[in-house]
Structure 1
Amino acid sequence: MTEIYFIRHAESDNSVYDDYSRPLTEKGMRDRILVTKFLNSKRIDAVFSSPYKRAIDTVKDFAGKNHLKIQFIDEFKERHVGRWVDNFTDFSKKQWNDFHYKLNEGESLQEVQSRNINALKRILTDYEGKNIVIGTHGTALSTIINYYDSSFGYNEFNNIIKLMPWIVRFTFDGKFCKEIEKINVFVY
């Protein structure tokens, strides 16, 4: 069995619009310790992350304390919206109702899902039987869950929108997803 622990980043500073450099807030920096505590007993073999600072910083404490190098995978970055969206709720509903909907120069949820699943399948091949951590983002992670469980849609996405950090454990037998467990580290 392969265990993949997707870690949705801790609270980030939304006053910084640049996706690559958006940092965690002070609360986010404190909350990432919850991720470290949860993962410490999981015998993690490798740590991957989106190249975005908020995702990296969320798994950095765990990786450092366990002497694991963070490997960056561009495909695990968050959805590129195309421009700043003032009404994120309406935009998200449109995207979840039509997986091909996108703004000019942005990405559809179908595109996000495809690149994330392709990267995940490479990891499942290269790290079969291992325990893996992947630092990621809310929308990207939600499209991965939706790929394996089509009942996960806008309402489920909306329920986790403020849950940061958030962990989702996938158990795979080869490339077959046997189980998805959603973990709220604030009550764990």
Structure 2
Amino acid sequence: MTSIYFVRHAQPDHGWEDDITRPLSDAGLEDSKKVTKLFRDYKIDCYISSPYKRSVDTIRESSAEKGLPIHEDERFRERKSGVGGNNMEMFHKRWSDLNFCEDGGESLSMVQKRNIEAILEVLNTHKDKNIVIGTHGTALSTILNYFTPSYNCNDFLRIIDFMPYIIRLDFNGTTLVGKEELLIIKKEFKGKK
């Protein structure tokens, strides 16, 4: 069995404009220590992350404790947000039509396609291993939707304030055989109006 521990990043500094280099807030840095503490009890074979700073920094201390590098994979990055992309109306529009996207943004189906390509590669390359993947709320939600098609906008909105959030997905080959939420820390997501 292969287990993937998806870690949605801790709370970022919402005042930071650039999405790629946005750091964790002071509270997010503190909460990332809870991620490290949780993984002390697990055998981890590999760390992979979105290249976005907040995702890497959420798992950095844990990977250092295990003496393992973090392999960055661009396919796990957050959804490219276009004009007016982070509000309740747009969240509902995107989830009711996975091919919909605002001007300059990515659709959920585009995000899902690149994430699932990466996940299938990870499952084939790291068979019967325990892998930590640093990710984002929307990216993770598209992964969960792929493996559990009933996952919808309400499920996405349920986790929107969970930063960090850890869920383990267990696979037999590429078939999902189990999942468990391991860590939920509620912090307000500032983009939902």
TM-score range, shorter chain: over 0.9
- Cross-structure match for 1:41: 41
Return the alpha-carbon distance in structure 2 between the equivalents of residues 148 and 137 of structure 1.
Answer: 17
**Conserved in 1, the CA contact under 8 Å of 2:10 and 2:32?**
yes
- Cross-structure match for 1:143: 142
**Conserved in 2, the CA contact under 8 Å of 1:170 and 1:181?**
yes
Query: For residues 82-161 of structure 1, what are the structure 2 equivalents within 5 Å?
Result: 82-83=82-83, 85=85, 88-161=87-160
Residue identity matched to 1:102? C
Distance 1:174 1:131, change over 3 A: same
2:55 matches 1:55: yes
**Conserved in 2, the CA contact under 8 Å of 1:79 and 1:139?**
yes
Identity fraction in percent = 42
**Conserved in 2, the CA contact under 8 Å of 1:34 and 1:185?**
no
**Conserved in 1, the CA contact under 8 Å of 2:84 and 2:102?**
no
Aligned length: 186
Q: For residue 169 of structure 2, give the secondary structure of its aligned residue in structure 1.
A: strand
**Conserved in 1, the CA contact under 8 Å of 2:123 and 2:173?**
yes
Q: For residue 79 of structure 2, give the secondary structure of its aligned residue in structure 1.
A: coil
CA offset at residue 47 of structure 1?
A: 0.2
CA offset at residue 181 of structure 1?
A: 1.5
**Conserved in 1, the CA contact under 8 Å of 2:95 and 2:108?**
yes
Query: For residues 159-178 of structure 1, what are the structure 2 equivalents within 5 Å?
Result: 159-178=158-177
**Conserved in 2, the CA contact under 8 Å of 1:3 and 1:170?**
yes
Which structure 1 segments of 5+ residues have no match? none
TM-score by structure 1 length? 0.95
CA offset at residue 185 of structure 1?
A: 4.2
Pairwise CA RMSD of aligned residues?
1.4
Return the alpha-carbon distance in structure 2 between the equivalents of residues 83 and 68 of structure 1.
Answer: 38
Return the alpha-carbon distance in structure 1 between the equivalents of residues 96 and 84 of structure 2.
Answer: 20
**Conserved in 2, the CA contact under 8 Å of 1:34 and 1:186?**
no
**Conserved in 1, the CA contact under 8 Å of 2:162 and 2:185?**
no
TM-score by structure 2 length? 0.93
- Cross-structure match for 1:5: 5
Deviating 4+ runs (over 3 angstroms) = none
- Once the two structures are superposed, residues 80-99 of structure 1 have per-residue CA deviations (whole angstroms, 9 ceiling, x without a partner) of 012454x5111111101110
Which structure 2 segments of 5+ residues have no match? 187-193
Q: For residue 184 of structure 1, give the secondary structure of its aligned residue in structure 2.
A: strand
Q: For residue 166 of structure 2, give the secondary structure of its aligned residue in structure 1.
A: strand
